[in-house]
């Protein structure tokens, strides 16, 4: 992971690029279309990672000279494993992907009951541990 922090001006420049969805002081979120296009240009047209990023309007001295090859390596792996659908998964806020997405109501209830049972057992264990320490 890079120790690079983007300044306010650099973040503003990055956000003005149509290939950027979000940008914080530490990370850039690239657009799904850009990722797919970059993988295809790399695999089918033989372009280098740096060429692809430069042509897309990124300054390598801002994002880091190794960032293009690192991104392409990850994106190619995702594309190989999951195809285009691999780029639509949402991560981040609220603890990542929801565990109950795509489940029926009955399966959600089973999942939540199991989770409650696990948490009760964990609380019982912690209570016993505290009691032993108090002795």
88 with 104, same domain: the answer is: no
Residue 69 belongs to a domain: yes
Full-model pTM: 0.63
> What are 84's two structure tokens?
């285009």
Backbone angles phi, psi at 44, to 5 degrees: -95, -35
Tokens of 20: 């950027």
Instruction: Give yes or no for residue 82 having a pLDDT over 90.
Output: no
- Judge contact between 52 and 59, C-beta under 8 A: no
Indicate whether 72 and 113 sit together in one domain: no
The gap from C-alpha 121 to its chain's centroid, in whole angstroms, comes to: 32
Average the pLDDT over 75-104 and give the result.
75
Q: Is position 2 within any domain?
A: no
Q: How does pLDDT run across 89-103, given as a tens digit for each residue? A: 555 555 556 667 778
21 and 84 co-located in one domain: yes
Q: Do 55 and 111 sit in the same domain of this protein? A: no
Per-residue pLDDT at 85: 83
Do 39 and 84 reside in the same domain of the chain?
yes
Token look-up 């009760």 returns: 120
Q: Is it the case that residue 4 has pLDDT exceeding 90?
A: no
Q: Within a domain: residue 26?
A: yes
Domain that holds residue 71: 8-94
Q: Is 57 helix (H, G, I), strand (E, B) or coil?
A: coil
Percent over 90 (pLDDT), the chain: 55
Residues 6+ apart with CB under 8 A from 104: none
Q: CA 116 to CA 49: how far, in whole Å?
A: 47
- Give the per-residue pLDDT at 1: 47
- pLDDT given at position 90: 58
Give how many domains the chain has, as a whole number: 2
């Amino acid at each position: 992971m890079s120790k690079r922090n983007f300044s306010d001006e650099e973040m503003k420049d990055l956000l003005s690029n149509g290939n950027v969805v979000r940008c914080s002081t530490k990370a850039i979120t690239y657009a799904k279309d850009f990722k797919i296009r970059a993988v295809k240009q790399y695999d089918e047209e033989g372009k280098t990672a740096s060429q692809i990023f430069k042509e897309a309007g990124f300054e390598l001295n801002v994002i880091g000279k190794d960032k293009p090859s690192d991104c392409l390596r990850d994106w190619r792996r995702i594309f190989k494993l999951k195809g285009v659908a691999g780029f639509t998964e949402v991560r981040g806020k609220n603890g990542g992907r929801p565990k109950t997405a795509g489940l029926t109501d009955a399966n959600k209830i089973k999942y939540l009951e199991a989770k409650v049972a696990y948490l009760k057992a964990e609380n019982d264990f912690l209570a016993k541990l505290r009691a032993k320490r108090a002795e």
